[in-house]
Structure 1
Amino acid sequence: MDTESVIHAIADPSRRRILDALRSRDGRSVGELTEALAPLGRHAVLKHVGVLETAGLIVSRKEGRVRRCHLNPVPIVQLAERWIDDFGARASAGLLALKNDLEKGTN
């Protein structure tokens, strides 16, 4: 895994929106991603998809004239494992659960 390319890829808000869109429904076409990322145009989305592919965060496949994108979460998991040990993961999970419980109570 090239850590620098993964960090560079997820640093951009538009690329994170692409990853979020694929997380909610994997296998979207570039056209569907372009609609989800309006007002970005198709060429800008294709450029972002290229950066995400280079980082290994998505895999795309041509189906006829349609290019479908699929999320590959492995590089993000590897990045997280690099800095978070077992103790830190358990402590963070408890704090996140507390945060979520408190936020639910304020809504």
Structure 2
Amino acid sequence: MEHYLLDNVFQALTDPTRRAVIGRLGRGPASITELAEPFGIALPSFLKHIHVLEAAGWIRTSKAGRVRTCTLERSALAAAEGWLGQQRAIWDARTDRLEDLVTHESTDA
């Protein structure tokens, strides 16, 4: 995945409202009105969060009549998991080398 796309995926997570929306959509699709209800903010302000999430690839919206429904897009989650997995592998290798160093020094002393 291109770095700028990954940047957008993580940037979208910087706001607690957007993280809560993603968490809610993890349980299934929901209308924008349903998603906005717990936050007590004006709908135009909430829609800005929806647009950020959609632009970053976290959600997809569809319209049926007057109702706009949001659905979680698993591809953004996969991109984040992939990058985090790479970082975890790097740090696991580093801690393994540190453990080997400490273990060998203590047995050599």
Matched, 1:28 2:30: yes
Deviation (angstroms), 1:73 = 2.1
Instruction: State how far apart, in whole Å, the 2-side matches of 1:47 and 1:79 are.
Output: 22
Q: Which runs of 4+ in 1 moved over 2 A?
A: none
Distance 1:41 1:16 in 2: 18
How many pairs were matched up? Answer: 86
1:3-61 CA-to-partner distances (Å, cap 9, x unmatched) read 1111110111110011111112x22111101113x222211211100000000100000
Unaligned runs of 5+ in 2: 93-109
CA-based RMSD? 1.8
TM-score when scaled to structure 1?
0.72
Identical columns (%): 33
Whole-angstrom CA distance in 2 between matches of 1:7 and 1:56: 11
Segments of 5+ residues of structure 1 without an aligned counterpart are 92-107
SS of structure 2 residue aligned to 1:62: strand
